[in-house]
Structure 1
Amino acid sequence: MKILTIVIPCYNSAAYMDRAVESLLIGSDEIEILIIDDGSSDNTSVIADEYEKNYPNIVRAIHKENGGHGDVINTGLKHANGIYFKVLDSDDWFNKESLQKVLDTLKAMINNSTSLDMLITNYVYENVSIGKSKSINYKGAMPENKIFTWNDLGFLRYSQNILMHSVIYRTEVLKECNLVLPKHTFYVDNIFVYMPLPYVKTMYYMNLDLYRYFIGRSDQSVNEKIMIQRIDQQIKVTKLMIDCYNPIHIECKKLRKYMIKYLVMMMTVSTVLLLKDNTEQSMSKKKELWQYLSSKDQQLFDEVDKSLLGSLVQFKGYLGRKLILFCYSLSRKIFGFN
């Protein structure tokens, strides 16, 4: 029985994928590592095959035509044998000691027939561009080392949003919500972590640093200049998340509040990037995005608009734009993202 499937999306990752794979080799064959080569043109496929040869009971190399990050996750989900499912990007890595503790916890849950839909851990920003490392934890917002529900959730700050780096989903939850991510689209990790939330009934938080999130490389998708170049994909993902939001399926008020707050963050990021681009076309896209939200769900629009960030990004004129960009710059320094 495989307790945990870990998918590593690889596209021309030969220069750094070893660190990701090696961080998962903790001597347990209860882990399944799917190295998915997304049509690479470098040595990625050779490295993946070598790992499968050396660790045949743990590693599987899967080769496919290029379809992007989301399509790799779709492929991983189809091939997953693990009861739980986790994604590790090829330039990131896990803390081995933390991984062993997570695996032991999941194994105990399974052996005790404990129902668990989502396990949450901390993640660490490893920002090379500013030489900063920052752990993001959920202390005070989530009960530790015990099963809890959305009703038990405390106040989550914006810095404590539940991201792909922090979650391990029960594989059946991802299948139950019919998760299929769009091809050739960046930033789909937001959909991955957002869409299944109404299907999650039980959670467990471990206050340990598992995921090491490497950022600051100039060619990364989260680099600010690249995000502006790919703003249409950011907008596409934001719209798909708006489409995912259905209050009929959201039973708990705290979950509803959290999902709205996540959309506030997505709307804010898109708006700020469009403001930084500051072209006539960008301003038109900004207007159209907010109109899309309004047309899809007026009540949701009102909720997003009345939030602090929502009100901020709606400021008009030169001074409003300056205020928004100042707040964005300040938060970037505090939290170390991009």
Structure 2
Amino acid sequence: MKVSIIVPVYNAEKYLDKCVESITKQTEEDIEILLIDDDSTDSSGRMCEEWANKDSRIRVFHIENIGVSNARNQGIKYSNSPYIMFVDSDDWIRKDMVECLLKNIEESKSQAVFCNYITVRDGEEIPCEGILEYKVYRSDEVAKIISNMFGGGRYYSSIWRGIYEREVIENSKIYFRDLKFAEDLVFNLEYLLNCNRVKIIKDELYYYRVNSTSALQSLKNKVDEIQKVPYEIYSLITKYNCLEKYSVEMLSELSLTVKRLFDINNKYSNFKVNAANFRKWNFKEIEKYSNNDRISKMYFQRKWIKLYVYLWIEKIKNHIHRK
């Protein structure tokens, strides 16, 4: 088998058939499909078994519901192929996605290949915006892809748009952190920090489904998880001795985190209730770079009222601009 495709499954009965069918009908047939049932409470577990009975390339694992990061880690553990891909159970892929990514990673001798995707929202298909040049990024050029991941997820922080080398994952001991938010960004960051050859292609191969729930609403119960992300990023870029190289990106992510918490607290609770959490963050090593970013500068100087007012003004300006 050339490629292992890992699909975490949790209460996905509404979309699972479309997802799995799109994988089983791939033009590249030398694949294995790992359905990781994360202790679903609907019929997803049974549906996984039914699919395994239809296709011998499918293996099903029923695990304790700890979260999507654990499900993906289990998928990596049980997979057998030299290349690994990830597909979310409410999405689907173009029939030649595996063939296209596999061909590109083998011919370019890259450690990863990322494609474009289509966002599906309420039946409307929206192509993603092309940000970086379509080519092979070598050695120091990989930093361009890494920089693009910060400050809002951008376009290369999602794991489902790529193909990965098992050897890189195993040799560098890369795994999904115990996060319920931005876990794929953190995984991709560490993976790319271990790459010296990455290819980006123009082909739109993945269909990413967005439900009608607002982004803010989906985040309101993840405040604690959102606060973990800058810590994880900071720990990685210090581990790989590249804090100086990615200091601007680090601050961009910190600023985005502050904005997210402000928006959530402003809409669903009193901002002051969670203001104390801001004070717990302690990025002493990166504080010297705070002059590059207004929000982080106010944060580091502990100017909480000034920061609060500034975020409110930004919110009003953005509202006026949209009109």
TM-score, scaled to structure 2:
0.81
- Structure 1 residue corresponding to 2:264, chosen from 250, 273, 278: 273
Write out aligned runs for 1:135-284 (5 A).
135-139=127-131, 141-142=132-133, 144-146=134-136, 148-151=138-141, 153=144, 156=148, 160-164=154-158, 165-183=160-178, 185-218=180-213, 223-246=215-238, 248-250=240-242, 253=245, 261-262=252-253, 264-266=255-257, 268-277=259-268, 279=270, 280-284=272-276
CA distance in 2, matches of 1:127, 1:51: 27
Q: Extract unaligned runs of 5+ from structure 2.
A: none
CA distance in 2, matches of 1:213, 1:6: 16
| Equivalent position of 2:16 in the other structure | 17
**1:92, CA displacement in angstroms?**
1.2
CA distance in 2, matches of 1:318, 1:270: 11
- AA paired with 1:14? E
- AA paired with 2:192? L
**1:230, CA displacement in angstroms?**
1.6
CA distance in 2, matches of 1:246, 1:186: 21
The answer on whether the counterparts of 1:120 and 1:167 sit within 8 Å (CA) in structure 2 is yes
CA distance in 2, matches of 1:197, 1:45: 33
Q: Which of 14-23 and 173-182 deviates more? A: 173-182
| Equivalent position of 2:118 in the other structure | 124
> Does the residue aligned with 2:23 lie in a helix, a strand or coil?
coil
Write out aligned runs for 1:101-120 (5 A).
101-109=100-108, 114=109, 116-120=110-114
What per-residue deviation string (whole Å, max 9, x for no partner) do you get for residues 149-179 of structure 1?
Answer: 3327488495744122333221222223323
The answer on whether the counterparts of 1:124 and 1:211 sit within 8 Å (CA) in structure 2 is yes
The answer on whether the counterparts of 2:119 and 2:210 sit within 8 Å (CA) in structure 1 is yes
TM-score, scaled to structure 1:
0.77
Aligned length: 311
- AA paired with 1:303? Y
- AA paired with 1:166? R
| Equivalent position of 2:92 in the other structure | 93
- AA paired with 1:162? Y
The answer on whether the counterparts of 1:242 and 1:263 sit within 8 Å (CA) in structure 2 is no
RMSD: 3.3
Write out aligned runs for 1:287-326 (5 A).
287-288=279-280, 291-292=281-282, 294-295=283-284, 297=285, 300-303=286-289, 306-307=292-293, 310=296, 316=306, 319-326=309-316
1:7 aligned to 2:1? no
What per-residue deviation string (whole Å, max 9, x for no partner) do you get for residues 229-254 of structure 1?
Answer: 2211121233222222217544994x
| Equivalent position of 2:32 in the other structure | 32
Distance 1:272 1:315, change over 3 A: farther
> Does the residue aligned with 2:90 lie in a helix, a strand or coil?
coil
The answer on whether the counterparts of 1:274 and 1:283 sit within 8 Å (CA) in structure 2 is no
The answer on whether the counterparts of 1:124 and 1:136 sit within 8 Å (CA) in structure 2 is yes
Distance 1:327 1:63, change over 3 A: farther
Q: Give the % identical residues.
A: 19
